[in-house]
Amino acid sequence: MVKDSYDVVVVGAGGDGPVAAWKLAEAGLSVLVLEAGPFHGNEQWPNPHEDPGGEASSSVEDLSGELLDEQFTTREFEMVNELLFGPADHDRGFWFRKFPGDGAILQCAGVGGTTLHYTGCHPRAYPASIDEQGHWPIDYADLLPYYREVEAMCDVSPAPVTAKEELFFRGAAAAGWDPIEDLNVTDPGYRPQPNAIRQPDAKLHVDADYDGDFTYPDVEGDTLALGDIAGNPHPRGAPFEEKAKRASNVSFVPPALATGNVTVRPNAFVTDVETETGGTDRPTATGVRFRDTWSGDTETVAADVVVLAAGAIETPRLWKNADLPANDWVGRGLTIHFGDNVMGLWDADDLEDAIGKRTIDQHQGQDIAARFDYPGLGMLQTVGTAPGIGAILGFGASASGFAFQNDPEDAPWDTMGRLAGTELKRLLSGYRRMLQVLVVSDDRPHQRNGVSVNPALADEHGPIPLVNYEPSTGDRQRRDDLAEIAAEILREAGASHVHRSDSPPTALHVHSTMRMGEVVDEACEAIDVDRLFVADHSVLSNSVGGVNPTNTGQALAARTAETVVDRYF
């Protein structure tokens, strides 16, 4: 049962909230975590998208790998629809958020948040993005102990090589880049992803002639079956805590519940932060109001400290809807790693020469297991997808119309733009000889970009987030340089056809809308509200150099939790 008051209420059980909850609970505090979406793999909610189920979960005994296996079918279309940001009730559509152009925000609702469909990539920020770009009030060195703690909790290790990673590494080496072995990256080069996915069983080596089942306990760790974007419950049959992908529901929620001090209440959308002012104008957070997404009932809960961890879109929305003090940077400075897709297609004979077989088979291995780093520009990542997600990410959207309307002339790609019709079918007939590279640029915080609200545009939880994003000239240049490097690597790896999407701005990684140094102080407590902390990617002062932000967000959340204890308990 949910009580009337706790030491700390954490708003959001996404990638970062459970980290803060775990640390606070380890320190002996009572913690309530409120999550807008469902709780998968929990016996309190055997059918989380069909029935309201239980009220809350406070025991690690509630976690069930068997239920997670049932609910995470790995079927891409079904899982995208279940995980993307919307109410648990499968009859109801996504929560609509206004985003410019034909881009979109890809976020999940549910315990685990967007780590439910993230690909486990857990690199650290580029040190220069913290120490040299002028956005951060703290040093990279301040983050190091927390990186180490998070990496240990998430089993971060070098990602395994399958055919598609070998092909990419060959291309990167042939293009003249060096391999990187460092955790703290300062120079360009290629390396395996530091992935929060347990490494595969050695039995799965191509030389080992394995012909057994790919289920636990026959195999432990990752099973190289793709599926991270669709939730990845592998290895099937494993207990909840033994799933290979260390999304926050697997890495941090179990130890948090095991403390006995944490209650997680899903299907609870926080709509207000309650404050009081004791003789001054300066408010102090005293609790939150939330709405049950199944019943529509609202409740309030009191807390000595409130930690916002609703993500870089919803946290500023909540701040604005809660009528907390105005600040020029609340909701502003949004970075999304302004990205693109560059795809290579190979002839079977060329693949035979390069990797010893006539198909790449992007559906095998981990989704994202090889990367290219370039501090100052951003990164590239190979991406394996099932065909539906691959089609929408790689070919379904473009800022430059359809491919047949563009003549790339001397560009390093053969075609650019949206693909449809005969061209789409012809290209996707080569799905198994195709490899996409995701371009992720180090976009910079600009005040024009961010989240606003308007009272005229509201849903059941108040005015919805209206997102604006327009990259700067520098952002575009960084992305263009990376796209050219991607094309060169694919060519050097032997691709016969290279296609660039010229993707519209799409928010896969979302950060820096409640920036440290502007909205929150160096400890991530709100500058204008006492006892109100932020522990999600919104406090990142910039886009951490264009690397996957989960590790940095979680490291900061761990650091923030320690400060909460130091300051108020």
Partner 1 sequence: MGNDNLWHEFLRWVGEGWRRVASRVGWVRETTGFFRVDPHTAVTFRAIADAVVPETPGLEAELGPEHVPGGLAVGLDDFHVAYVDDGFQFGLPHVGFVGNAPLADPVAHVLDLAARELVRRGENESALSDDRPVALVDLGEAPPPEVRAAAGPFAKLSRRDRLRAMAILDEFEVELSPSADELFELDAGLVGQLVVGFAEMIYYSEWQGYDEFDRAPSERDHPNDPAAVQSWRQTGFPGFANGYAALRGYLGTPDGSLGDGESWTTIDDGTGSPVRIVHESGSFRENDYDTSGYEEPYPE
**198-257 positions binding partner 1, by CB under 8 A:** 199-200, 202-210, 213-215, 219, 223-225, 227, 234-236
Whether the bond into 217 is cis, omega within 30 of 0: yes
User: Hey, which residues between 345 and 374 contact partner 1 (CB under 8 A)?
Assistant: 356, 359, 361, 363-365
Q: Identify the CA nearest to 18 among candidates 198, 259, 232.
A: 259
Q: Tell me whether residue 326 or residue 456 sits nearer to partner 1 (CB atom).
A: 456
Q: Tell me whether residue 194 or residue 311 sits nearer to partner 1 (CB atom).
A: 194
Among 55, 166, 299, 347, binds partner 1 (CB under 8 A): 166
Q: How many residues sit in the footprint of partner 1 (CB under 8 A)? A: 131
Which amino acid does the sequence have at 220? E
- Shortest Cβ 105–partner 1 spacing (Å): 12
Label the pairing between strands 370-374 and 378-383: antiparallel
Instruction: With H, G, I as helix, E, B as strand and everything else as coil, classify residue 30.
Output: coil
Strands laid side by side in the 434-441 sheet:
189-192, 370-374, 378-383, 434-441, 339-345, 497-500, 415-416
- Shortest Cβ 438–partner 1 spacing (Å): 16
Which one of the spans 21-29, 391-399, 523-531, 552-560 is the region binding partner 1 (CB under 8 A)? 391-399
- Shortest Cβ 270–partner 1 spacing (Å): 15
What does the per-residue mask of binding to partner 1 show for 444-483, with x meaning CB under 8 A? x---------x-xxxxxx----x-----xxx--xx--x--
- Shortest Cβ 129–partner 1 spacing (Å): 9
What does the per-residue mask of binding to partner 1 show for 507-546, with x meaning CB under 8 A? ----------------------------------------
- Shortest Cβ 456–partner 1 spacing (Å): 4
Q: Tell me whether residue 27 or residue 225 sits nearer to partner 1 (CB atom).
A: 225
Q: Identify the CA nearest to 23 among candidates 34, 33, 35, 38.
A: 33
266 binds partner 1 (CB under 8 A): no
Among 87, 283, 311, 316, binds partner 1 (CB under 8 A): 87
408 binds partner 1 (CB under 8 A): no
Its sign, for the CA torsion 424, 427, 431, 436, is: negative
CB 39 within 8 A of CB 57: yes
Task: Give burial (CB, 10 Å; 0-12/13-18/19+) of 258.
Answer: middle
Q: Tell me whether residue 74 or residue 248 sits nearer to partner 1 (CB atom).
A: 74
- Segments in 336-445 forming alpha helices (H): 348-355, 387-394, 422-428
Among 98, 289, 491, 497, binds partner 1 (CB under 8 A): 98
100 binds partner 1 (CB under 8 A): yes
Q: Tell me whether residue 361 or residue 525 sits nearer to partner 1 (CB atom).
A: 361
**Distance linking the first and last C-alpha atoms of the chain:** 24
- Shortest Cβ 473–partner 1 spacing (Å): 7
Task: Give burial (CB, 10 Å; 0-12/13-18/19+) of 173.
Answer: middle
Radius of gyration of the chain measured on its C-alpha atoms: 23
391 binds partner 1 (CB under 8 A): yes
**DSSP letter string, 433-451:** GEEEEEEEE-----TTSEE
Q: Tell me whether residue 40 or residue 511 sits nearer to partner 1 (CB atom).
A: 40
Among 425, 447, 522, 569, binds partner 1 (CB under 8 A): 425
- Shortest Cβ 417–partner 1 spacing (Å): 9
- Shortest Cβ 77–partner 1 spacing (Å): 4
Label the pairing between strands 31-34 and 5-11: parallel
**DSSP letter string, 510-556:** -B-SS-BTTTB-TTSBBSSSBTEEE-SGGG-SS-GGGS-SHHHHHHH
DSSP letter assigned to residue 62: G
Backbone angles phi, psi at 289, to 5 degrees: -110, 140
What long-range pairs does 51-54 form, CB within 8 A, spacing at least 24? 52/267, 52/292, 52/294, 52/295
- Shortest Cβ 327–partner 1 spacing (Å): 22
What does the per-residue mask of binding to partner 1 show for 48-77, with x meaning CB under 8 A? -xx-------------------xx-xxxxx
User: Hey, which residues between 136 and 165 contact partner 1 (CB under 8 A)?
Assistant: 140, 157-158, 160-163, 165
Distance CA 189, CA 380 (A): 10
Among 120, 194, 255, 553, binds partner 1 (CB under 8 A): 194
